[in-house]
Structure formats: structure tokens, C-alpha cells
Amino acid sequence: MNAPSELPAKITLGQTLIQGRCLAVRKAKDVFYHLVAMPAADPYSHPSTVEVSASERLAEKDGDFRSLCRVTGYPRQFKQTDRDTGEEKIVRTADVKLQAVV
């Protein structure tokens, strides 16, 4: 159940390498979701935590995680009221998803 140790020589556009400690794994329908904490950039930073979906289990809880991932996502928008002016504005953002390339 370990992630593939060999990666392609070149990561293509829209791909990234995720490596860290698997904090939890859950399964919904036929998809495994791995919650991964990556190493902090320095001793004063908080580690980034991401969720990676995969068609198979790639790590156990508290185990090492490493996978080439496809970066996907979708746009999102919501209304927000400006506290100073009371003007209602549309805020546009995106939800980013990581999908393991298995």
C-alpha cells in the first residue's frame, strides 16, 4: 500500500509531488481520501495540510505518503458585504483538489 517510489523524469503541467505524513485515510464510495501534512518550510512555520484522492489506498494512518498528483479544481463565487461601505460584492475564488496519479 505504499505510493510508487519511482516518479516520471519530468512532472508535466498541472502536476505536483506531494510528500509527507498521512494523518488520516477515509473511504467514500470507491475513492480513498488521504489527509497529508507536509513538512513545514522552517521551524517557525505551520506545516501545510492537503487532501489527496486516489482510487486505491496509498498510505496508512501515521505512515509516510508520497504521490505524484494532478492539480484540479473548480471556480466558486459568493456574496460578501464590505464592512466599511455596506456594499455587497461578488467574491470569486477556487477550490483546489489533488488527485493521485496511480
> For residue range 49-95, what is the model confidence (pLDDT) as tens digits?
999 999 999 999 999 999 999 999 999 999 999 999 999 999 999 99
Question: What domains sit in the chain, N to C, each tagged with a CATH number?
Answer: 15-100 (2.40.50)
Query: Could you tell me the pTM of the whole model?
Result: 0.81
54 with 31: CB under 8 angstroms?
Answer: yes
3 with 59: CB under 8 angstroms?
Answer: yes
Antiparallel, parallel or unpaired: β 64-81 and 49-54 = unpaired
Rounded CA gap, 32 and 57, in Å?
6
Rounded CA gap, 51 and 95, in Å?
12
- Helix count and strand count (H, E) for the chain: 0, 5
